[in-house]
Amino acid sequence: MAADEIAVIGGIDTHTDTHQAAVIDTVGRHLATEPFSTSPAGYQQLLDWLRSHGEVLAVGVEGTGAYGAELARFLSSNGITVVEVDRPDRKARRDNGKSDPVDAYAAATAVLSGRAKGTPKSRNGIAEAIRALRVARSSAIKARTQTINQIRTLIVTAPAEVREQFRGLPTAELIDHLARSRPAGDLADPACAVRTALRRLARRHRALSEEIAAADAELKPLVTRAAPQLVALPGVGPESAGQLLITAGDNPERLRSEASFAHLCAAAPIPASSGRTKRYRLNRGGDRQANRALHTIVIVRMRHDRRTQEYVARRTAEGMSKKDIIRCLKRFVAREVYKHLPHPDITAAQLQQAA
């Protein structure tokens, strides 16, 4: 840094078409505010603008997992320290108002004060690839569930001759029968119209099943390649492992310890003590999909893992409820998963110490 150059901190409020940037000095004085387009040229202009005010110590970015994802990647690749900034709470917005320049300035001051200090996901590796593929898979699963529900509803409300023919059939047999059917007649007849609609829905269900199977065939080797030790753990399948890899991101070293990973997965109890009462409450925050993955692993282990079954029996004999036992097991699984995540920037000794 030149002798006459000052140190500055940036703050960015991200949107679809423009990013609002603000820059402050190290004592919090507002230096400038400027909007920039969400394009490669706009990102470069934003970076040049920040550097024109002095040495950039860090930049706070709102929405690093959404509108600010590519900007965060760009800044990181250019040697800028990016800090993830949460949206201001309601009280701060009531006190300070709401506008893009105000939010950008708030992001910069959050970094300066230390309120914001999280490292965003890098989103430049195999975990991001897994996330993209899982988006399509998840939507296909939701669509397939909606389709079978529509089929069942149509059968319930169908004329008697149609309803009695398909009532009680297992899903696989029902889909196969409907997809191969050849309804004929006047579409003005409700029975013919229902049969036609059921045939179309069944073929849609079959197509979605094929799409899900293709996604699974793509995801399984990717997940195994990303974290073979994680997939080898008891009760951890490609689906659960994929979600936990997405939660940790391509730079899991940003998580300081297994406790921070457990907190991210909503598997760390929150203190709720007062006076002489010492207790903890359920954490309802964090990544709910990661928490669901931990829950799935725990349920599978409770059914098939002997070590887990012995633990459940012991804690049940001590008077602990099933829900509390599952919460304890989630915390244990989070600790075990963290040790088997890929940590490229952490040595084995450091990882063992952190765990």
Q: Residue 222 has which token pair?
A: 């990717």
Residue 224, Cβ neighbours under 10 Å: how many?
15
Q: Is the pLDDT of residue 352 over 70?
A: no
pLDDT band at residue 2 under the 50/70/90 scheme = low
Q: Is the pLDDT of residue 355 over 70?
A: no
| Token pair 């063992």 in the structure block, residue | 352
For the whole model, what pTM was predicted? Answer: 0.84
Determine the Cα–Cα distance for residues 73 and 125; give it in Å rounded to an integer. Answer: 11
Determine the Cα–Cα distance for residues 154 and 169; give it in Å rounded to an integer. Answer: 14
At 135, give phi and psi (nearest 5°): -60, -50
Q: What is the pLDDT of residue 256?
A: 85
pLDDT in tens, 121-179: 999 999 999 999 999 999 999 999 999 999 999 999 999 989 999 988 999 999 999 99
pLDDT in tens, 236-277: 999 999 999 999 999 998 888 899 999 999 998 888 788 877
Q: Which fold has domain 7-113?
A: Nucleotidyltransferase; domain 5 (3.30.420)
